[in-house]
Structure 1
Amino acid sequence: MDKRVIANLMEERRWVEVTNNSRRTTENVYAMFTGSVVWHYPRRLFSFLTLALACVEEGRFRQRLISGWVSYKQIKIFISCAIQHVPLLDQVPCSITVTNADRVRNMVSILRRGPIARFISWHSGRPAHAAELLSFHSAEYIEELVQADSAGANNNKICECTFLNPGSWDAALLAAGTTLSAMKHILDGHAKIAYALVRPPGHHAQPDRADGYCFLNNAGLAVKLALDSGRRRVAVVDIDVHYGNGTAEGFYHTDSVLTISLHMKHGSWGPSHPQSGLVDETGKGRGLGYNLNIPLPNGSGDAGYEYAMNELVFDPNGRQCLTMDGYRKIGQIMRGMADQHSNGQILIVQEGGYHITYSAYCLHATLEGVLNLQAPLLDDPLGFYPDDEKYTMQAVDIIKKCWKESIPIYRNPSLNFISKYIEELVQANAVGAKKLCEGTFLNPGSWGAALLAAGTTLSAMKHILDGHAKIAYALVRPPGHHAQPDRADGYCFLNNAGLAVKLALDSGRRKVAVVDIDVHYGNGTAEGFYHTDSVLTISLHMKHGSWGPSHPQSGSVDEIGEGRGLGYNLNIPLPNGSGDAGYEYAMNELVVPAIEKFHPELLVFVVGQDSSTFDPNGRQCLTMDGYRKIGQIMRGMADQHSNGQILIVQEGGYHISYSAYCLHATLEGVLNLQAPLLDDPIAYYPEDEKYTMKVVDIMKKCWKESIPFLKDI
């Protein structure tokens, strides 16, 4: 490629901010649109929206209207548009003539010269780096593209209708890098709304292959950047006329990203596009129910799309009959969702749109909608195309019924995603008494006590999260660490510690570590986070194994998590009689190194005094000195990793008097007092730490061999 063309491309690449000279605000959550849409769930989410001809991201901001216009000085809006050096498009052959420079020229022109220009400022993008591409795409696929570019041949066919020509790879890198720059602009708090106007598009590009003119998935890369920067949940809403199969494929197995695609029903179009885009493609594994397809009938029109957006969420390549009014309404709906869920921060990413002039008008209308203007800035230059919304509404109702029947989180919206297990508890409480599992009964008053225990623990966590305290202790009954997401177990109905961890994650903490020293395995907490790498669960317990259907977990060292959570559940089953020295050795040799490798932002310390010398349910022989030392070690880890923040949650402990003394000693340790405040009232029970130390060394060797992030502890 001519060096001057590259230089011009680098210089002319732009992304645009829409601004109105108001104060800049940083929010915790963002919404992102690309040929796919992403929106937030409670607190930290992203929303993505990919338009058929433009992807729009909504922003949340206050508006003051003067004579129907948004006052420039009272609203701070950024719309970042990455603009490819348009002469390059003329040089990139394609087997179909829909990709041409005139469309992009017209989009740039309408943004620079149209009435929306007052809200827009322009910023330079940059090429993506190889390491950034690997966050979404496989190394083998990127190597294939690099080699194809090095060959330098014209019409290098990557897949049906998608060719890599001289200049294509540079353009793809610029599109990806500019989209990432726009996202980072939002993440860094410099804008609420950013729009990446880029070519080539990206939403068909899958992790391991090109497809449909797409080489790199611009939106997918931006979503990964958001997740890697601490955003826990991102929603992608794609309104391109074609199914955003690449974005869906990239997040098909995760519940961190919700992908929603409203598209023309076109099915698979070959080996590079095996996905059908039908309603039964709903994700797999943890991602089951988090890929939602809305294939709309041809001619759905403005009213049909509006109905689909509200009920579920003129182009040569499409048959959907959207006009400027339709795009404007979709922009307004996305803005409303952003205001409600993502604190008004949105990234907009351009995908398809192939009418040379009308695409630009529809882009303008979409952005008007996102700005939530009271009146249109531009009239539609074309005659109205009547829509056939009745058939579309019937199709939408059928899809909605299908979702309710097949996707768990939509089965009963009135319960706001509350599980069947909670329904079971509520019904048992209404009856008055019920045996939930062996040894665990719900009696009158049990449900109220469980709610109080859970709520009190959440209050303690919120006290820390709001900055009112660094150390909080939830002294609650009934306990919770055996309660699993779908069942009661071991006197536990609700998992108090697990709920507190979820609150911390939903409030923006990216990594939380749980250390449980109750004499019994904290199986419920482990089960709740068994498939995630956001929570490290460590349990030091007496070796007792499973105790029945309600407690299938054994607590052995080989239960280390699954999927993304592989290696993030660490069990330390200690021999009977381990005593103070044995526990201290296990803490220093196993727990401290694991915490150092994990680098948590918050510690949850689950305490049970049933590991004490005189507890009727335990055999571990811990004394007050042992609990005090464990408390000191926990405090040291909190000071080093979580700015001293630590939530302590009460679990077991059944000796009527000695449990209270051991609790006192634990809190002395957490306070890091130089001398004990209370002497141990009971004679010392000799410990057998040597055997425990041998067992700990064996477990340490096992961890180093089987868990990657602990290989060098």
Structure 2
Amino acid sequence: MLTVYSDRHRLHHGHAELIDGEMKPCFEMPSRADFILERVRETKLGDVIAPASFGLDPVHRIHDKGFIAFLASAWDEWSALGRKHDALPLIWPVRGMRQDRVPEDIDGKLGYYSMDAGVPLTAGTWAAVSDAVDVALTGARHVREGARGAFSLCRPPGHHAAADYMGGYCYINNAAVAAQSFLDAGAKRVAVLDVDYHHGNGTQSIFYHRSDVLFASLHGDPRTEYPFFLGHADETGAGAGVGYNANFPLQPGTAWTDYAVALDAACARVADYAPDALVVSLGVDTFEEDPISQFKLRSADYLRIGEAIGRLGKPTLFVMEGGYAVAAIGVNAVNVLTGFESI
């Protein structure tokens, strides 16, 4: 299986995030991609290539142009004030506040275009996220050209980013942009299967009113788990999208036996939908040793996840999302890909 990777992900390295009332080093760090790439090469999974450049047109098919312009200019606006630390939001337009005007001040913009404080902007963030989406689009092109599967080793991740806001370490929704690229190239239906521990709220919101993309997600129950405000089982789509959104929230402590039941149900939804292509938001923060998650999957279970996806028999793009047990992230991510390849 081909892996697409850009070393420019290193340009994004947030110094700190707010955890348990303290500013602590970010769990989302460059070494995540390093360990995965090392494992890809150790296992001889396949060739590793750099991404092609696709420009912003595919990004604008998913994301608000004002939001993307903000991402591109935010660091310059922030640093022009003499600020040298990470740019982080400090206020959000909550219920009762106006949301129809974008503030002119950078602090206002940061709040307007974010859902939380887990998205530090640095001098290299725009370069890193620009390459991450090109990594996803290059993998999608490889699949469109006939490959059974491809792995886009994206960093930063993307599934919490919605059309006009960032959040949860995510800036541009790589999986959503890739899914749209399949449709723009002639696919009639695309499915997105999200196996990250945290619900892909951004992907859900992007496609919630559409029937040409099925979104299916297995994740921690939002009653007790981030992102809290989306991911419930009764969220099934709206308008033309009714019936094309399927959430499978699971309880803390979920291990393989119960996870497998939900995975089978999600895969059945994908199979019934009969997509022309499948995009997998590949998070491995479901691992039993992940520091910010509560599931109990073991490394061998990721082979089974890959096998289940492989049995769907669809042209499949894997897009890297979360996973913060850094020492094991490479083994777990590549196990999914190896399991897929074994079918």
Normalized against structure 1, the TM-score is what? 0.34
Determine whether 1:459 maps to 2:116. Answer: no
Residues 1:652 and 2:322 are matched in the alignment = yes
1:611 aligns with 2:286: yes
In structure 2, give the amino acid aligned to 1:636.
Answer: R
SS state of the match for residue 285, structure 2?
Answer: helix
CA distance in 2, matches of 1:631, 1:478: 22
Aligned to 2:260: 584
The secondary structure found in structure 2 opposite 1:647 is strand
3-state SS of 1:515 partner: strand
Shift of 1:562: 0.5
Counterpart code for 2:242: L
Cα distance change of structure 1 residues 546 and 490 upon mapping to structure 2, 3 Å threshold = farther
1:572 equivalent in alignment to 2:237:
no
Match of 1:471 in 2: 149
1:490–1:533: structure 2 CA closer, same or farther, 3 Å change rule?
same
* Cα deviation, residue 519, structure 1: 0.4
Distance 2:177 2:223 in 1: 25
Alignment of 1:130-141 (within 5 A): none
What is the Cα deviation at residue 427 of structure 1? 2.2
SS at structure 1 position matched to 2:326: coil
Shift in Å at residue 552 of structure 1? Answer: 7.1
Q: Do the aligned partners of residues 553 and 506 (structure 1) sit closer, same or farther apart at CA in structure 2, a change above 3 Å counting?
A: farther
- Residues 442 and 546 (structure 1 numbering): CA distance in 2 closer, same or farther, change over 3 Å? farther
Distance 1:507 1:463 in 2: 12
Q: Give the CA deviation at 1:559.
A: 1.2
Residue identity opposite 2:154 in structure 1: V
Query: What secondary structure does 1:441 align onto?
Result: coil
- Give 1:519's aligned residue: 197
- C-alpha distance in structure 1 between counterparts of 2:182 and 2:287, whole Å: 30
Q: 1:533 aligns with which of 211, 214, 220?
A: 211
**1:557 aligned residue (228, 233, 241):** 233
Partner SS, residue 236 of structure 2: coil
2:333 corresponds to 1:663 = yes
Deviation at 1:439, TM superposition (A): 2.0
Q: Counterpart in 2 of 1:163?
A: none
CA deviation map 1:114-165 (0-9, x unaligned) = xxxxxxxxxxxxxxxxxxxxxxxxxxxxxxxxxxxxxxxxxxxxxxxxxxxx
Which residue of structure 1 aligns with residue 87 of structure 2?
A: 434
Q: What is the CA distance between 1:545 and its match in structure 2? A: 4.2
The whole-number CA distance in structure 2 between the counterparts of 1:418 and 1:597 is: 32
Give the letter aligned to residue 464 of structure 1: V
What amino acid does structure 2 have at the position aligned with 1:465? Answer: R
Q: Is the 8 A contact 1:545 1:554 kept in 2?
A: no
Q: Which amino acid aligns with 1:583?
A: Y
Which whole-Å deviations, capped at 9, do the CAs of 1:211-264 have from their partners, x for residues lacking one? Answer: xxxxxxxxxxxxxxxxxxxxxxxxxxxxxxxxxxxxxxxxxxxxxxxxxxxxxx
Measured in 1, the distance between the counterparts of 2:129 and 2:280 equals 20
- Uncovered stretches (5+) of structure 1, i.e. residues with no partner: 1-414, 674-713
Pick 1 or 2: higher relative contact order, CA cutoff 8 A, min separation 6. Answer: 2
Match of 2:32 in 1: none
- TM-score when scaled to structure 2? 0.69
Matched to 2:167, the amino acid is D
Structure 2 match to 1:155: none
Aligned partner of 1:711 in structure 2 is none
RMSD of aligned residue pairs (Cα, Å): 2.0
Query: For 2:161 and 2:199, how far apart are their aligned partners in 1?
Result: 11
1:465/1:504 contact within 8 Å kept = yes
Cα distance, 1:561 vs. partner?
Answer: 1.0
Shift >4 Å, 4+ stretches:
415-418, 545-548
Deviation at 1:539, TM superposition (A): 0.6
Partner of 1:179: none
Contact 2:194 2:216 in 1 (8 A): yes
Q: Aligned residues, how many?
A: 250
The answer on whether the counterparts of 1:581 and 1:626 sit within 8 Å (CA) in structure 2 is no
Partner residue of 2:44?
A: none
Partner of 2:305: 630
Aligned-pair CA distance for 1:418: 5.3
Question: Residue 434 of structure 1: SS of its match in structure 2?
Answer: coil
What CA distance in whole angstroms lies between the structure 2 residues aligned with 1:535 and 1:553?
Answer: 22
Taking the aligned partners of 1:544 and 1:553, their CA distance within structure 2 comes to 7
CA distance 1:552–1:617, change in 2 (3 Å) = closer
CA contact (8 A) 2:217 2:266 kept: no
Q: Secondary structure at the match of 1:587?
A: helix
Quote the Cα distance in structure 2 between the aligned partners of 1:479 and 1:538: 18
CA distance in 2, matches of 1:579, 1:516: 17
Do the aligned residues in 2 keep the contact of 1:514 with 1:605 (CA within 8 Å)? yes
Q: 1:418 to 1:482 in 2, by over 3 A?
A: closer
SS at match of 1:605: strand
> Does the 8 Å CA contact 1:545/1:555 hold for their aligned counterparts?
no
Asked if structure 1 preserves the Cα contact closer than 8 Å seen for 2:237 and 2:245, the reply is: yes
Amino acid corresponding to residue 143 of structure 2 in structure 1: I
Write the letter of the residue equivalent to 2:213.
V
1:594 Cα deviation from its structure 2 partner: 1.0
Structure 1 residues 378-389: aligned runs within 5 Å: none
Instruction: Please report how far the alpha carbon of residue 452 of structure 1 lies from its aligned counterpart in structure 2 after TM superposition.
Output: 0.6
Larger radius of gyration: 1
1:493 to 171, 174, 199: 171
Distance in 1 (alpha carbons) for counterparts of 2:135 and 2:117: 27
